[in-house]
Amino acid sequence: MVLLFLVLLSLTFITLDFRGDGGGITGGLRHGVESFFSPIQSLVGAVVEPIGNAFSGITDYGALEDENARLKDRIADLERRAAVGDDVRKELADALALQDLSFVGSIPTVSARVVSTPVSNFEQVIELDKGSDKGIDVGMPVVTAAGLAGRVTEVTSHRSRVQLLSDSTSAVGVLLPTSNERGAAEGEGTDRDLVIDFIEPEVKVASGEVVVTSGVGGSFPPGIPVGNVAHSKAVPGELQRSVTLRLSADLARLNMVKVLQWKPQR
Amino acid sequence: MTSVIRVPPVALLVVALHTAVLPHLRLFGVGADVMLLAAIAAGLVAGPRQAAWTGFLAGLIADCFTRTPFGLSALTYCLVGYGVGLLRVGVLEMSWWLPTAITFVGSALGVVTFVALGTMMGQEYLWSWRVPMIAGVLALLNMALGPLIVKSIRWALGPVSEPRPVR
């Protein structure tokens, strides 16, 4: 009886979510819970990240003898400090690199810090510490010094969520400048190269070729670096060339990013 | 009454682990799912009814941090918790290794159920070649976290009478 009740309740929530298209009651619940846990998430995340790094460092040394306990503690302490130092240095380097983004042109930008890495194993979504109060809106592109990272999908007053290009529902219109061929790069999940669709089989595509946004579809401004061609080959019988794209931005180690205040043209 | 006082800090601990700690500790890009683990742990210590409730509430919180349909995790975790609870009731004697094995299998089944239900609801992107790998790695990580979460859930729910078969 309990199970039946809870199943029906779950299905009611799912129906409400579909009908409200992510907004409505379920959207309000989501925002409420997120806002409540955001400070905890930021605080715990900031503490855990360097400890996690130090922990990884310690495990690399393998098993130590009992009599070396004092030395082990000392190593752990030093590595913890080193990890914290590395994080600060990386953040500073990221912030400096973001000051000179030639590909952004005259588009105004907002700098933001990544406060949450993907929680789910099925989505590539991060959270930024800035929201609509700083002029961020849904659809705005997010870049690192290396190139495009994703786009804003949800915004609250102080936070925004970004769907990374590696997300399996993400797609971006791209241009191969050498051949002037346009395609669509689709995400394939964590640590996987993107797949570029709609490239004609006879088009010559070299490995390492730079790929930029095409601006087609109006979701992203044209000319932003996306990555480099990783593999390219014509498959007999296929109507399009098999091309994979390695992203320029290191999505696994995002720290500081810039949100381009550019509205999608739809 | 005791559990009313004990549940909030444990819930806070579990949510903090889920949203802020475990996303940083990934193996092959896969993190543990402590909300699913909470449902399984409740099944192991408190039987099907409480596990279904725990799974449902844990799933609802998990749904707040994802873009999948709101209620999908709640439905999945509630079913998994209930299933584990039923299994616990059906087992006459709990060997030392059985909770670990149930945690592993329950976690893997939870991932598969989540993907299957999500795909049925039009979220085709959930299915990919990585699902078996995600299920396996997540089950391993959940297995490692199992003792901590089982202890926490047992402490939170207070003295629970031995689960009896549900009719």
Q: Is B134–A122 a contact, with Cβ atoms under 8 angstroms apart?
A: yes
Of B23, B79, B128, the CB nearest to A168: B128
**Residue in this structure with the two tokens 């239900």, named with its chain if needed:** B117
**Nearest-10 crossing angle of helices B72-90, B98-120:** 150
Q: Is B70–A40 a contact, with Cβ atoms under 8 angstroms apart?
A: no
pLDDT at B160: 64
Q: At B149, which CATH number?
A: 1.10.1760
Distance (Å) from the alpha carbon of B64 to chain A's nearest alpha carbon = 4
pLDDT at A21: 74
Distance CA A129, CA A265 (A): 25
Contacts of A117 in chain B (CB under 8 A): 23-24
pLDDT tens per residue across span B97-154 = 889 999 999 999 999 999 999 999 988 888 888 899 999 999 999 999 999 999 999 9
Distance CA A40, CA A43 (A): 5
B98-132 core/surface letters (b: 16 or more CB in 10 A; e: else): ebeebbbbbbbbbbebbbebbeebebebbebebbe
Name which residue leads in pLDDT, B162 or B74: B74
For residue A133, the 8-state DSSP code is: G
Domain count, chain B: 1
Contacts of B30 in chain A (CB under 8 A): 121
B166 in any annotated domain: no
Q: Is A3–B12 a contact, with Cβ atoms under 8 angstroms apart?
A: no
Q: Helices then strands (H, E): number in chain B? A: 6, 0
pLDDT at A6: 93
Question: Is pLDDT of A65 > 80?
Answer: no
Length of chain A: 266
Name which residue leads in pLDDT, A116 or A193: A193
Contact indicator for B123, B131 with CB cutoff of 8 Å: no
**Residue in this structure with the two tokens 């983004």, named with its chain if needed:** A101
Contacts of A3 in chain B (CB under 8 A): 48, 52, 78-79, 82
- Sorted by where each begins, the domain ranges of chain A are 2-97, 105-266
pLDDT more than 90, % of chain A = 35
CA B155 to chain centre: 17
Q: What are phi and psi of A139, to 5 degrees?
A: 95, -10
Q: Is B70–A30 a contact, with Cβ atoms under 8 angstroms apart?
A: yes
Chain A CA closest to residue B82: A3
**Nearest-10 crossing angle of helices B2-16, B34-46:** 150
3 state SS of A214: coil
Contacts of A2 in chain B (CB under 8 A): 48-49, 52-53
pLDDT at A27: 83
Candidates B24, B25, B54, partner chain A, best to mutate (most A CBs within 10 A): B24
Of B18, B21, B68, the CB nearest to A48: B21
- Pick the closest to residue A34 from A163, A154, A189, A141 (CA basis): A154
pLDDT at A24: 78
A72/B contact by beta carbon, under 8 A = no
Distance (Å) from the alpha carbon of B6 to chain A's nearest alpha carbon = 19
pLDDT band (50, 70, 90) for residue A55: very low
B165 in any annotated domain: no
pLDDT at A47: 73
Average pLDDT across chain B, whole number: 88
Of B20, B74, B118, the CB nearest to A44: B20
- Pick the closest to residue A213 from A262, A252, A157, A250 (CA basis): A262
pLDDT tens per residue across span A201-231 = 888 888 889 999 998 888 899 999 999 999 9
pLDDT at B81: 95
Class of domain A105-266: mainly beta
Average pLDDT across chain A, whole number: 82
Listed in sequence order, the DSSP H helices in A157-231 are none
Interstrand relation of A148-155 and A109-116 (parallel, antiparallel or unpaired): unpaired
Contacts of B65 in chain A (CB under 8 A): 33-34, 119-120
Q: Can you give the residue range of the structural domain that contains B59?
A: 2-157
pLDDT at A58: 45
Residues A153-163, mean pLDDT to the nearest whole number: 89
Question: Is pLDDT of A64 > 50?
Answer: no
A191/B contact by beta carbon, under 8 A = yes
pLDDT tens per residue across span A73-115 = 667 666 666 665 666 666 667 766 677 777 888 889 999 988 8
Q: How many Å is the maximal CA-CA distance in chain A? A: 68
Question: Is pLDDT of B61 > 80?
Answer: yes
Of B12, B64, B111, the CB nearest to A33: B64
